[in-house]
């Protein structure tokens, strides 16, 4: 049997109801005690005053007969002799037997209690005073009927009913308030349930205000924005990749079909050379795609301490280029990373610089105390500010002045940025007097 509600609304209502019942119950108990104690104290004070005044008159011999009724008949006063003989009383108690069988002793001349065993029924608060210590001393009895709610438990019944009613009201109010509060959450859930991979343009309703639910809706919409952008980029990437792969495949197929249809007129060496060139391009694209996929998975790869200046010197030393490569390498700039990936990053930046430089490439290694800096600059036409983010996208095509030259797959800069981010760094394009300046920031290897 499940006692705990499944919904937040039900659980909140249950908790609020229990807390309200406990709070209202405590208040009810306090009211009950206050009413009982206050009423009994007031009745006791009245009966004590009447009994003491009558007892003093008996001792002084000044008691009038019948006993004056100063309370309008609300207090019954009797003077009782030993043997339960009523000697005198107020008019309201005339002809009645003693209202109580209580008989104070010589050592305890004043007593009070509640008596519900009287001959006429009902419950009375009785004050009994033994006038003297003599053996035959009379006793003054002053009695006042107790209100019915103190005798029958009616007060407790009324208070219990009030507690139940208020608890039910608290439950209803909580149910309504929580339901109204969670209504936007249900709308968000329903909208999210309807969003599919084929249509990511839909957004969840965003309530006004700055509360947690509004923040949840904003966060959900921001997540959907990122998801839509990621899926759109993935679709665009798949489209671009298929286009890039189609070109060398089409060239390879055309050469082979031409050789097959005209074997006598075909230069076999030229066909094989063209086929190898297309195959090399296919291999380059597939290799770059696989590298991007491996970097994107974020798998753990062993890292090592790397001196950035030594890495640049080793890479440029074995690189043959018709351009002048100028280096400005600060020693002792050490980072932690995967050497092969960082070599690939530097190689891609140098390939890009060689493709667009007019005469020279500059490489700089330095640090600012917290980050290592690697900058690769060329003296070509540069990259327009509006294109500086696009060049890092996969298979991006710029204008003819900065279009890809021979050998490029369109993935080199995308791979370089992925490697930088995998190492906790940032690869950006900064302003330069001439050409393009790619700057890599990596965290230093702190001892």
Residues of the chain with pLDDT under 70: 1-4, 70-73, 118-121, 240, 296-301, 397-408, 446-447
Query: 80, 86 in Cβ contact below 8 A?
Result: yes
Say if 24 falls within a structural domain: yes
Task: Give domain status of residue 323, yes or no.
Answer: yes
Does 429 map to a domain? yes
Domain end call among 281, 296, 311: 296
Residue 334 placed within a domain: yes
Q: Are residues 346 and 221 in the same domain?
A: no
12 and 135 belong to one structural domain: yes
CATH number at residue 340: 3.30.565.10
Please enumerate in sequence order all residues whose Cβ is within 8 A of that of 209, keeping only pairs 6 or more positions apart, or say none. Answer: none
pLDDT of residue 119: 55
Residues 9/175, Cβ–Cβ less than 8 Å: yes
Count of domains forming the chain: 3
Position 170 in a domain: no
Residue 19 neighbours by CB distance under 10 Å:
13
Nearest partner of 237 among 442, 414, 369, judged by Cα: 414
Q: What is the pTM of this model?
A: 0.52
Boundary of a domain, candidates 110, 129, 155: 155
**Phi and psi of 334, rounded to 5°?**
-110, 140
What is residue 390's DSSP assignment?
G
**pLDDT at residue 50 in the model:** 86
pLDDT at position 360:
93
Cα gap 391→267, rounded to integer Å: 39
User: Do both 128 and 108 map to the same domain?
Assistant: yes
User: In this structure, are 308 and 428 located in the same domain?
Assistant: yes
| Domain around 101 | 8-155
Q: Do 326 and 272 have their domain in common?
A: no
Say if 137 falls within a structural domain. yes
Q: Indicate whether 327 belongs to any domain.
A: yes
Instruction: For residues 287 and 311, state if they share a domain.
Output: no
Q: List pLDDT tens digits, range 396-439.
A: 766 544 554 445 677 888 889 989 998 899 999 999 889 999 99
For residue 298, the model assigns a pLDDT of 59
DSSP string for residues in 16-81:
HHHHHHHHHHHHHHHHHHHHHHHHHHHHHHHHHHHHHHHHHHHHHT---SSPP-TTTTSSEEEEEE
438 and 305 co-located in one domain: yes
Rounded to an integer, what distance in angstroms lies between the CA atom of residue 362 and that of residue 354?
11
Q: Parallel, antiparallel, or unpaired: how do β-strands 360-367 and 304-307 relate?
A: unpaired
Cα 401 from Cα 314, distance rounded (Å): 31
For residues 387 and 427, state if they share a domain.
Answer: yes
86 lies in some domain: yes
Select from 290, 415, 311 the least CA-distant residue to 365: 311
Q: How far apart are CA 135 and CA 104, in angstroms?
A: 11
Residue 42 shares a structural domain with residue 72: yes
């Amino acid at each position: 049997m499940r006692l705990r509600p499944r919904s937040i609304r039900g659980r909140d209502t249950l908790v609020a109801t229990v807390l309200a019942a406990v709070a209202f119950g405590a208040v009810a108990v306090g009211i009950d005690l206050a009413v009982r104690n206050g009423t009994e104290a007031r009745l006791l004070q009245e009966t004590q005053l009447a009994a003491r005044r009558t007892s003093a008159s008996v001792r002084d011999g000044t008691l009038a007969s019948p006993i004056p009724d100063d309370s309008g008949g609300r207090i019954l006063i009797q003077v009782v002799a030993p043997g339960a003989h009523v000697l005198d009383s107020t008019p309201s108690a005339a002809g009645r037997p003693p209202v109580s069988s209580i008989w104070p002793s010589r050592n305890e001349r004043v007593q009070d209690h509640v008596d519900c065993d009287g001959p006429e029924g009902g419950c009375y608060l009785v004050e009994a005073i033994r006038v003297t210590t003599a053996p035959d001393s009379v006793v003054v009895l002053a009695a006042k009927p107790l209100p019915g709610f103190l005798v029958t438990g009616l007060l407790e019944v009324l208070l219990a009913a009030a507690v139940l009613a208020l608890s039910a009201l608290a439950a209803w109010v909580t149910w309504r308030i929580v339901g109204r509060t969670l209504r936007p959450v249900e709308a968000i859930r329903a909208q999210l349930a309807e969003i599919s991979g084929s249509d990511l343009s839909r957004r969840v309703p965003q309530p006004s205000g700055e509360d947690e639910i509004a923040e949840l809706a904003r966060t959900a919409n921001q997540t959907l924005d990122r998801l839509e952008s990621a899926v759109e980029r993935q679709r665009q990437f798949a489209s671009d990749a298929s286009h890039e792969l189609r070109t060398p495949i089409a060239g390879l197929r055309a050469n082979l079909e031409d050789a097959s249809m005209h074997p006598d007129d075909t230069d076999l060496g030229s066909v094989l050379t063209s086929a190898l060139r297309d195959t090399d391009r296919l291999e380059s694209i597939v290799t770059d795609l696989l590298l991007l996929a491996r970097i994107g998975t974020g798998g753990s790869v062993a890292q090592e301490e790397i001196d950035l200046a030594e890495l640049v010197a080793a890479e440029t030393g074995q690189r043959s280029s018709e351009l002048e490569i100028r280096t400005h390498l600060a020693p002792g700039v050490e980072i932690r990373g995967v050497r092969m990936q960082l070599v690939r990053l530097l190689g891609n930046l140098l390939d890009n610089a060689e493709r667009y430089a007019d005469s020279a490439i500059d490489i700089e290694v330095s640090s600012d105390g917290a980050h290592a800096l690697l900058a690769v600059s060329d003296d070509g036409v540069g990259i327009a500010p509006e294109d500086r983010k696009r060049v890092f996208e996969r298979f991006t095509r710029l204008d003819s002045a900065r279009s890809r030259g021979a050998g490029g797959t369109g993935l080199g800069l995308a791979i370089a940025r992925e490697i930088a981010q995998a190492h906790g760094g940032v690869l950006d394009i900064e302003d330069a007097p001439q050409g393009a300046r790619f700057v890599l920031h990596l965290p230093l290897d702190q001892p």
